[in-house]
Structure 1
């Protein structure tokens, strides 16, 4: 059973709230700005939306230096992110997420949308964010309006539309580890009915993890992206937004470092010494925190492009919206899993690799309307995705004259998804609103998989299968929210979520390859409040939630009891039942006209409550363990200062503290596979010229050089491999606007 969460970690936050609500009214007025969100696919004041949502506007994105989803996760309560490699980011909200990667699965439980378009493959969520007007993170199942497998939450990214007045911006950045970044934007009218915008982003950074046995370095970045948009208004009632984007990212392989307690294979199927024992015997050199034993850097490449057309048609008291989108992506990676290579010491070397291409078309229609007491919308959604993936592993060594073997899988999958949805909010009284939403989703998958066993590393026998399966669900949401005071709203909600099943991409044989894992479902119960206090100088929002999951999908290496497999197979199982509950708080306080305080806090208590019996291996002994990527406590605190200078111009500064408790990465809650607790500080200071055209900013991230993990993963029986996070980084950014 889940234990009742203690409130002791919240004492400081509650004390702050109680003190600030009793402060006297000051003569000066420096209220917080209204935050507009589209969490319910219509523009609303965030304080009126009965959903646990974190919003980040353009100014916060700039000041916090947010350039990717990892930066969003660090500043959102209950949101954690890992990264096995850059093509496979793992997004978790409230302890629920996905790390699947096969052609027949791989959908994220935290769904990401850019300008309303679903990002269909996980690699698409890992590219650099730029030209962003705002980011919203919706926590908990979003099974009504957002749908498409958003069983843990949704990330809604909105870019800036083309402006009706000319504007341009150039940004140049430099920093340690050879950082070079360039961004540019130009926007304005082409005719009286057509506005256009073009943006470009490029970022390069050298590696930060070195090998102690070779000159190999890993952890670099070489990315670029561009976006073109056209905003056409042929009449007062019609608006058409055309968007096109392209991005590419080329890096070395994962900057992974093996755990010193992990076992190193010494022969074809025998487990040898630990790395620590080998170091003690002077068989290999000792590696520091940002060092490993690679002789091959591997590689990671990502290319994506897409186009969308959004049409909004004002029909007097109704609005018809159509979003048509096409996306395609190509990814490739080669990760050296056991890096003590053939020439350094006569051991084995394992290379996991994959090449993938994907194409997606989607169409969404929405009709929305308002009456005096009713706001409603209904819609249809269609999505079709075709994915091809070649995945496998190389297995090589220098013993007995040397050998090189490989296993390969060739996967093809076509996913077709249909949905119909509706949601309505009824104003029962001046203070009480009732919301009901419903969605029906059906998802079909046609899957082909051919496996070739050359090493017996992953694939034990050749197979060639073709299977199809479908899943469907009706999900709903019911919310009641009440304006308790003029500045305080409370709400209670019940919502369900659904994620379709799928197929494993790498299997040991035909039976496993043809056997689907089933859909997972969730029920979230939540109560919360949203308030603007102290003459609108304090924004204080909170949520208390309990979510139960059935048939939770888990991808992990499992001991299959077969001595023929050197590496335990990676497969997805339906775990049975799991629960997560917790508390989330967000606050922003305009302390004075110049000083602002902000912070978030999340308490998570998670548990695998029931595993299916008869599984291989037996997982029942792990009942009661914690969910993955679910730190018990997580904080983000920031203080910012801004002031106009008497000599002209203005300065602003920001100091940020990010802290997370330990987070397990597997069902068994292995300590060596966990991400230990960490605490980091980030700083930024900027000067803006009097005409607001120039800004120069200096920044430091991880200011005290904390050594912590960005990710950790286990490869049984060889222990864990952690990806060290960046050490201290610093730099300067120069921006010119006109």
Structure 2
């Protein structure tokens, strides 16, 4: 019944839009045009299809978050971005494990050196291959484009679930500068700014920086130290070479950043599906330990540092633009944590885990894009290459004795992986009539992965069995060479129909592909040789991009169905305390999405968005033999809704000098694993800000608050012998910012 409801809702809405807006435009035409209307919703230019076009002209589901929205809503990282985008969520099960989820597709704990995320992230069209050790804080940006669904043709690195495209602000020949400083609770301090201007008549520069510091959102009550604190610093420098009246343009970008933290607190609560009460939960309850208080006996840490450079060269011919994009990135991520978040006793063992992630990436893309806007044909051809060299170190040590053999000892893994991706792609569009356009495209991708994995049991604790997951005795070791190659052909077809200036309808079908890999910390030499297969998806989508009521309302709708083959999924196996990646036979995901912006008056703007998701495994028997067929896909909220407004007011000379902005996001339930037992219950987050900026003033003051109801919700969770280990999202935060432009 729910599947039928989703389909009927989407079909009815798209059919109605084809006719209704034309009448609305005719009615308003006698009064004012969209360009003249002071209450029109502003256009947003995006480059998701490798051309600079209005968001409303691009036939795919895209959320574009402008620099103004990023700054006003304090969207400073992926967590805060995920809060307001339909069908987009994020979990973070460890300091080096950011797991992005778009439309039910995520790479849950698939963090091996050979692995790749299902949702890709790009900065200025350069792919970020390792999310855990990469810097993903946002500062001095032009916009962020969240592109939903598989991107099988045009993106430089093929992604199967969707993409986050971050566009930085570029140098200008008009001198500008801005500085913002702020403070908040938890002793928070933030500062960011930029300066840009000409260096010569043909060379402009831009420098931007950001500092974000705050004390811990959680406390370690054993050591008396903070957890979930942050010390973060980033900087970016750009040089733009653009001679006047020249077809040549070159942009060099360099960036560097570092962050230090004690990492997230792991808070145990009772597993509701296990009889009795877990040992750690009982201890916490008896001692009155709160939900933001950790009891690890060791100092924990989560540190990152790294940087990169990119060079983009564009050359305009009369008929096409040739672009070369060269990227280089190198980063390092380190973390150390007590696996149970507690010593022994009350834990079964005092076991400490540490990891290092050191990726180095170089990529090159060449692309030729047609420029004849008056032609019935438009086209894109290109080629892409990327090489990743990833070093990963993992170790575990039990520092107290235990009667459980699987928990004693000390192991060390070292994994060196090399990943080479090569692709060629092309797309051609043809205007059949002024209202009807057809586009076809395809990409051929070849992935080659290889590496060497070394494992050693340094100490077995005296019981002849190394600490899980490695099954070796003390002093034993093994070394395994692995490697494999995959290729895929991923076509796409799109039909666009534009019945009038206010509506564009589209339908598309396309294929996505993500390469295979190998399990993280396998328990035996034989297991280290066994890889998992690539995953593929076919996406069917219909949608509408509309500008209604003289462009006062922007309403975008999409409905989709994704058929997955060999969906990669990972589970924690308590018998060996190891993780195993399996390929689900098939999975089906259906959903609808909507985004709306309405200029009620020239002072009041209302926004709303929502998504409904039906994501299920249709044929999935795990590596341990458990049948999850018919279960919901893990970590995929079944619905998500967001509503907000911005209202400007004031009196006299300060008319419209004050603005109030607020938004509320409600996220539906999501299961933590494919067994569909434990889940995150629905939760809501309320954010608001009040800004004072007198007319023509160079300064503004903003008072802001996030999670104002102090909602306690988990961003990741897993079970352990009767307890449930939770990683909680940020509590209520608030502060004040002062910004000055000059």
Q: State whether TM-score is above 0.5.
A: yes
2:70 match: secondary structure = helix
2:590 match: secondary structure = strand
Distance 1:429 1:456, change over 3 A: same
1:97 match: secondary structure = coil
Structure 1 CA distance for aligned equivalents of residues 637 and 385 of structure 2: 36
Offset at residue 484 of structure 1 (A) = 2.3
2:517 match: secondary structure = coil
Offset at residue 619 of structure 1 (A) = 2.4
1:315 corresponds, among 317, 320, 330, to 317
1:397 match: secondary structure = coil
Instruction: Check the 8 A contact 1:90/1:98 in 2, yes or no.
Output: yes
Match of 1:84?
Answer: 93
Instruction: Check the 8 A contact 1:181/1:203 in 2, yes or no.
Output: yes
Instruction: Check the 8 A contact 2:114/2:517 in 1, yes or no.
Output: yes
Q: What aligned pairs does 1:655-694 form with structure 2 within 5 A after superposition? A: 655-671=662-678, 674-694=679-699
| Structure 1, gaps ≥5 residues long | 265-270
Offset at residue 644 of structure 1 (A) = 6.2
Distance 1:391 1:9, change over 3 A: farther
Offset at residue 296 of structure 1 (A) = 2.5
Structure 2 CA distance for aligned equivalents of residues 414 and 213 of structure 1: 42
Q: What aligned pairs does 1:263-662 form with structure 2 within 5 A after superposition? A: 273-278=278-283, 282=286, 285-342=287-344, 345=346, 347-371=348-372, 372-397=375-400, 405-453=409-457, 454=459, 455-461=466-472, 462-559=477-574, 565=576, 567=577, 569-612=578-621, 616-620=623-627, 622-643=628-649, 645-648=651-654, 650-662=657-669
Offset at residue 549 of structure 1 (A) = 0.6
In the TM superposition, what whole-angstrom CA distance separates every residue of 1:549-604 from its partner, at most 9, and x where no partner exists?
10011122135xx5xx3x2x112111211111010000000000100101110000
| Structure 2, gaps ≥5 residues long | 460-465
Structure 2 CA distance for aligned equivalents of residues 102 and 539 of structure 1: 39
2:171 corresponds, among 157, 162, 165, to 162
- Further displaced range: 160-169 or 451-460: 451-460
Instruction: Check the 8 A contact 1:103/1:413 in 2, yes or no.
Output: no
2:250 corresponds, among 213, 224, 240, to 240
Offset at residue 608 of structure 1 (A) = 0.5
Distance 1:9 1:441, change over 3 A: closer
Q: What aligned pairs does 1:114-153 form with structure 2 within 5 A after superposition? A: 114-123=123-132, 127-146=136-155, 148-153=157-162
Distance 1:106 1:716, change over 3 A: farther
Offset at residue 22 of structure 1 (A) = 6.9
Match of 1:4?
Answer: 4
Distance 1:690 1:2, change over 3 A: closer
Offset at residue 99 of structure 1 (A) = 3.0
2:596 match: secondary structure = strand
2:271 match: secondary structure = coil
2:382 match: secondary structure = strand
Structure 1 CA distance for aligned equivalents of residues 440 and 506 of structure 2: 13
- Further displaced range: 45-54 or 502-511: 502-511
Structure 1 CA distance for aligned equivalents of residues 112 and 414 of structure 2: 9
The alignment's TM-score, normalised by the length of structure 2, stands at 0.91
Distance 1:196 1:366, change over 3 A: same
Instruction: Check the 8 A contact 1:262/1:274 in 2, yes or no.
Output: no
Distance 1:541 1:125, change over 3 A: farther
Match of 2:216?
Answer: 207
2:172 match: secondary structure = coil
Distance 1:511 1:718, change over 3 A: farther
The alignment's TM-score, normalised by the length of structure 1, stands at 0.92
